[in-house]
A and B are shown apart, each in its own frame.
Chain A
Amino acid sequence: MSNEAVLHASVGAHHEAHGDEHHEHHHDTFITKYVFSQDHKMIAKQFLITGMVWAVLGGLMSVLFRLQLGYPESTFPWLQDILGKWAEGGKITPAAYYALVTTHGTVLVFFVLTAGLSGTFANFLIPLQIGARDMASPFMNMLSYWFFFAASIVMLSSLFVETGPFSGGWTAYPPLSALGDASPGSKSGMDLWIISMALFVVSSLLGGLNYIATILNMRTKGMSMTRLPLTIWALFFTAVLGVLSFPVLLSGFILLIFDRNFGTSFYLSDIFINGVGALPNEGGSAILFQHLFWFLGHPEVYIILLPAMGMVSEIMSVNSRKPIFGYMAMVGSLFAIAILAFLVWAHHMFVTGLNPLLGSVFVLLTLLIAVPSAIKVFNWLTTLWRGNVRFTPGMLFAIGFVSLFISGGLTGIWLGNSALDIHLHDTYFVIAHFHIVMGVASMFGMFAGIYHWFPKMYGRFMNDTLAYIHFWVTMAGAYLIFWPMHYQGLAGMPRRYYDFSVWESFKQFGELNQFISLVAMIVFAVQLLFLFNFFYSIFKGRRVATLNPWGANTLEWTTPIRPGHGNWVGEIPEVHRWAYDYGKDGKEFISQDTPVGADESHH
């Protein structure tokens, strides 16, 4: 008996009823439906799958450089087969190591956790949850994806350049990133890196403007701003952050292009390069780039984190069968985080020789972010309290997100305090901090979103058992990898070191590094299991039999099981209430399009 037959013996009839809804109006060709689609749902899937490709590549890169860190003495002949001269004799060269680290960072931060996360869910959820047929400009939305695609291609091509891809760290600080003579990776690899990033900025602006316009203008009747699900609020603030900060990054890159190619001295001064001699550039400031970079770079952290927070709030409420606690406080804290995100960038620069007074203002503002963050955490905890928790895969990842956000957020209080940062800056403590709070936590938000909205995306469920294995191994693995790194940081171990063997102060962690590398490989393998589950379930998963499988209140669950372009077959539903009437007046859930009853209690 086929998988399909076993799984759907009982629901076949129901499926017939909904089977051809997606053929409704215009007849799409393959190209307009799957490639140059203007349907926000398809664009979301394009973002998601491209993001997945990058996640695999970026993850694989981390496995490769973890091999070097974990087994610095060993050689792996197969590495030479894959990487050629970059792994002469089966050992990754320093140049390759730094290229891998840099590309891993760039790709994960921008392509996976920005495009893959907010690109996917902003596209998918905004029209569905606010009650719109599509984005304000579907065409611009399509362009947004294709600019991202172009950025991906350029970034990918930079991996195959003779002098290697850019290898100066994802933050690309000049002068290192400006001078090909200082590092081979800063030659044509860097040109491609900047072009790719410029295309990415365009993509993200096209997307962001569209998200903002859609949320502000295209809400269905009755959907006031204060009735929006928290996902939409989070995606709204994310888009605002992106639109206001990415242009600053681009301006920084443009100056860098000028310094690299046209002999200007925005970032360059007083430089003597071995083998080249003194450069003519004088009067520039290398620190200027860092200000421009981190003016995006810090909001970027929240661009990554806020969508995860929004989705976690929604998923947590749905699966606790209980309203999100403190809706207005959740919106307020998102707003506070969005504002503060712009006012803390220099905490990445405490040890650059920054004016101490300026530094102290940034300490104050940075630690202030802990307040809205604390509000969010306590509100999530209270949402669980006296709920009726269903551990769907989405919910598991949402709980995991909260755990990781607490763990990684608390170490932010260490690093945000400049007098402690002066000791811990650029050590493994920082690696542990941002991987937990931004990297893994946001990944968890993304997984939660994928598991939760997969039924809406593909009309099928993902396999639960595989999802449970995926969650528990990843959760344990994330802590096993990053928790001990705090200790390496407390030993002062600097990040971005290819080899620690000559260092009397840092070489005591050989075994630990091996352990971490091993866990990293297992966790990576489990992510492949997740991908398998994802793609297998698209075609063979258990079919969704009811319109609203999670019993959720938001509007996307009022659309057909497989909504076509335009989302609703008839009228767009009218909204009469907020999104969180769970467990109210003894009713398990009350969908947003249900009119308020005469005898309903007020909350």
Chain B
Amino acid sequence: MTMFLITAVTVLIFLVIFQIAKATEYVGILKGEEKSRKESNKINGLLMVVFLVLGLIGVWYCNHLLFNKTLLAHDASSVEGALVDSMLWVTLAVTGIVFIGTQIVLFLFAYKYQEQDDRKVYFFAHSNKLEFIWTIIPAITLTVLVVIGLRNWYLFTGEPPKGAMVVEVTGKQFGWIFRYPGKDAAFGKKYYKNIDNASNSLGIIWEDELSHDDLVMEQTMYLVKGKPVKFIIGSRDVIHDVGLTHFRMKMDAVPGIPTTLWFTPKYTTNEMKEITGNPNFQYEISCDQMCGNGHYSMKGVIEVLDQEEYDAKMAGQKPYYYAAFPDKDPSNTKPVVADTAKVAATPAEVSTKVIAKN
């Protein structure tokens, strides 16, 4: 019913507009086409200025309404993100000046040089000097922006500082899996054909002993304030993207091709709750690359903690190896002989697969 009403009203409005438009055309013919053309020319000329003024007010008003809802309302949450922000402000200043300047010139020229009977146009076909000026000035400005940009780019894409922690991030439809290397600070090898949702979500090759202390978590990842972290990013199925909007970083997760990304968290999650004034604040990982019908719900959470909180949190985590093989877990006190035999068989199977691959 509402739909019908809306349609009816729209059609009615159309009819009215159409009738007015037709009537205007008739009146124009009666008055003389040339005269009515000049009248509407004046109106459109005036509208040019109106549009300019309202537009500029609109730009201000939009900023007034929305600025505090953007990330720029507070600091970037990573040391590197602060560089992104400062570069963003420089770019905004440059493009903002050009934007306002050229829009004003455009609409004012349109208004000022609107058709008048006594105006004689200035035959001005070209001027090498002018064209040279507006080739060189943009070129120089852009060079400055490129230099700032590339300096940051090489920092972001370069190696993280020594002592950075490393976390492996794996995307899947539609969630995230995180792996920490454990005490030995090295990841065990993995092979995607070993993936098994129940006990081996990453396809870890268990006979690689480096894997035995690896920690695997889903959905929530823990990081340390002030400690650089490097992500080794991969995907289990289609392309995803690790979007870290508060840290101002982003990197695709591509199946078969690991990518990396590093940054230094600057504020803990709790500190951010205060800074943003939002008690529900979370560092969210958003998937930023179309990955299927659940794309919009592919969320991960990063909790940034102080070193002590982090240590306490991680001390409680069990290596993933023990989840796959509970009887290897030293905290399981009753080793049963039959079970050991079964477990011994499993890695053998895995290694056959690996050989088959090679």
A601 to chain B, nearest CB (A): 8
The answer to whether A417 and B91 have CB atoms under 8 Å apart is yes
Residues on A with beta carbons closer than 8 Å to the beta carbon of B246 = 492, 505
The answer to whether B14 and A532 have CB atoms under 8 Å apart is yes
Closest chain A residue to B280, Cβ basis: A504
In terms of DSSP, what is the predominant structure of the interface of chain B?
helix
The answer to whether A386 and B84 have CB atoms under 8 Å apart is no
The answer to whether B237 and A175 have CB atoms under 8 Å apart is yes
The answer to whether B254 and A487 have CB atoms under 8 Å apart is no
The answer to whether A98 and B249 have CB atoms under 8 Å apart is no
A423 and B84 in contact, given A323-B123, A351-B251 (Cβ under 8 angstroms):
yes
Residues of chain A in range 571-591 having any CB-CB distance to chain B below 8 Å: 580, 582-586
The answer to whether A492 and B245 have CB atoms under 8 Å apart is yes
A183 to chain B, nearest CB (A): 4
Q: Which 10 A-B pairs have the closest CB atoms?
A: A492-B245, A269-B256, A353-B259, A583-B121, A419-B152, A391-B44, A356-B157, A465-B21, A417-B149, A386-B122
Residues on A with beta carbons closer than 8 Å to the beta carbon of B259 = 352-353
A residues apposed to B, CB below 8 Å = 3, 6-7, 9-10, 76, 78, 94-95, 98, 167-169, 171, 173-176, 179, 182-185, 268-274, 278, 282-287, 320-323, 325-329, 351-353, 356, 359-360, 363-364, 367-368, 370-371, 374-375, 377-379, 381-382, 384-391, 396, 399, 402-403, 406-407, 410-411, 413-414, 417-420, 422-423, 425-427, 463-466, 468-469, 472, 475-476, 479-480, 483-484, 487, 490-492, 494-500, 502-506, 508-509, 512, 525, 528-529, 532-533, 542, 580, 582-586, 603
A388 and B116 in contact, given A422-B248, A463-B25 (Cβ under 8 angstroms):
yes
B198 within 8 Å of A (CB atoms): no
The answer to whether A388 and B255 have CB atoms under 8 Å apart is no
A39 to B278, CA, bound (A): 65
B66 within 8 Å of A (CB atoms): yes
Closest chain B residue to A484, Cβ basis: B62
B130 to chain A, nearest CB (A): 7
Q: Tally B residues with Cβ within 8 Å of A.
A: 127
Residues on B with beta carbons closer than 8 Å to the beta carbon of A7 = 25-26, 29
The answer to whether A274 and B173 have CB atoms under 8 Å apart is yes
Residues on B with beta carbons closer than 8 Å to the beta carbon of A529 = 14, 17
The answer to whether A583 and B284 have CB atoms under 8 Å apart is no
The answer to whether B156 and A419 have CB atoms under 8 Å apart is yes
Residues on B with beta carbons closer than 8 Å to the beta carbon of A322 = 121-124
Proximity string of chain B (128-152) to chain A, C-beta cutoff 8 Å, 1 when within and 0 when not: 0011001100110010011011101
Closest chain B residue to A361, Cβ basis: B150
The answer to whether B256 and A364 have CB atoms under 8 Å apart is no
A367 to B140, CA, bound (A): 11
A498 to B20, CA, bound (A): 41
A274 and B22 in contact, given A414-B95, A504-B280, A583-B120 (Cβ under 8 angstroms):
no
Proximity string of chain B (31-64) to chain A, C-beta cutoff 8 Å, 1 when within and 0 when not: 0000001001100110110010001001100110
Closest chain B residue to A419, Cβ basis: B152
A573 to B238, CA, bound (A): 60
Q: Which of B3, B47, B66 counts the most A-chain CB atoms under 10 A from its CB?
A: B66
The answer to whether A284 and B21 have CB atoms under 8 Å apart is no
B residues apposed to A, CB below 8 Å = 3, 10, 14, 17-18, 20-22, 24-26, 28-29, 37, 40-41, 44-45, 47-48, 51, 55, 58-59, 62-63, 66-67, 69-72, 81, 83-84, 87-88, 91, 94-95, 98-99, 102-103, 105-107, 109-110, 113-116, 119-127, 130-131, 134-135, 138-139, 142, 145-146, 148-150, 152-154, 156-158, 172-173, 192-193, 195, 197, 203, 233, 236-239, 241, 243, 245-246, 248-252, 254-260, 278, 280-282, 284, 286-297, 299, 357
A345 to chain B, nearest CB (A): 16
The answer to whether B122 and A583 have CB atoms under 8 Å apart is yes
A sample of 12 inter-chain contacts (CB < 8 A) reads A6-B26, A171-B290, A179-B238, A272-B237, A278-B203, A328-B126, A371-B138, A377-B102, A386-B124, A487-B70, A491-B245, A498-B295
A464 to B25, CA, bound (A): 8
Residues on A with beta carbons closer than 8 Å to the beta carbon of B256 = 268-271, 282-286
B88 to chain A, nearest CB (A): 6
Residue of A270, A320, A378, A502 near B134 (CB, 8 A) is A378
Closest chain A residue to B251, Cβ basis: A351
Closest chain A residue to B172, Cβ basis: A274
The answer to whether A269 and B255 have CB atoms under 8 Å apart is yes
Residues on B with beta carbons closer than 8 Å to the beta carbon of A583 = 120-123
A353 and B257 in contact, given A360-B153, A386-B124, A483-B58 (Cβ under 8 angstroms):
yes
The answer to whether B153 and A388 have CB atoms under 8 Å apart is no
The answer to whether A504 and B51 have CB atoms under 8 Å apart is no
A117 to chain B, nearest CB (A): 23
The answer to whether B203 and A182 have CB atoms under 8 Å apart is no
